[in-house]
Structure 1
Amino acid sequence: MSRDLPDLTHLVRPGAEFALRVTPKASRDRIVAAGGVLRVYVTVAPEDGKANAAVQKLLAKSLGVAKSRLTLLRGQTSRDKLFRLE
């Protein structure tokens, strides 16, 4: 696993929800878990859902699950997002 991705496999359970704060156009892709808040940094621009797709892929990799198991519930156009693990 990449050094910029924390091991979040302990959070994997059906129905789990993940609140994230996203920073698009970052210098590198990474996830920072600090103070109970997940901050996700992605290098892509927030256009046509590209940043959301990058966040979903990064979160799935960190959780060790298929990205198809993650559903964006809230925050399609916001920096604050809520994903659910199916």
Structure 2
Amino acid sequence: MSAFYRERDGGLDLFVRLTPKASADQFSGIETAADGRSYLAAKVRAVPEKGAANAALERLVGGHFGVARSKVSVITGQTSRLKTVRIEAEPSSLASILGALSKPLS
């Protein structure tokens, strides 16, 4: 099993599996794919048209991590369910949030 994030200079990359057209914008835990890669499961109400679901994901991540929306961007997977989201912030300041996301959600 791999980590669902990777620290970078000046930030971190989250590996996300996005489900659009959900009933609420939320994280729903960590999923492991058949190849052993881990993803943060996220759901958004937006539809996957004209970047609406990606924008909703960026808002969700920014709000949850307490960073400005302008510091969050989908860098890969624009038209895929599997995405990489970059957060521009000091990784150490995000550590407690990453730890909480790693625990099972109830």
Decide: shared fold, TM above 0.5.
yes
Structure 1 unpaired stretches of 5+: 1-10
* Rg larger for: 2
Residue 44 (structure 1) shift: 1.1
Q: Percent identity?
A: 40
Pick 1 or 2: higher relative contact order, CA cutoff 8 A, min separation 6.
1
Structure 2 unpaired stretches of 5+: 1-6, 32-37, 89-106
Structure 1: which 4+ aligned runs deviate by more than 3 Å? none
Amino acid at match of 1:85: I
Q: What's the RMSD between the two structures over aligned residues?
A: 1.8
1:55 is aligned to 57
Structure 1 counterpart of 2:76, from 53, 74, 77: 74
TM-score (norm 1): 0.78
Q: Indicate yes or no: 2:25 matched with 1:14.
A: no
Query: Matched residue pairs, number?
Result: 75
Q: Distance in 2 between the 1:74 and 1:59 partners?
A: 15
1:32 is aligned to 28
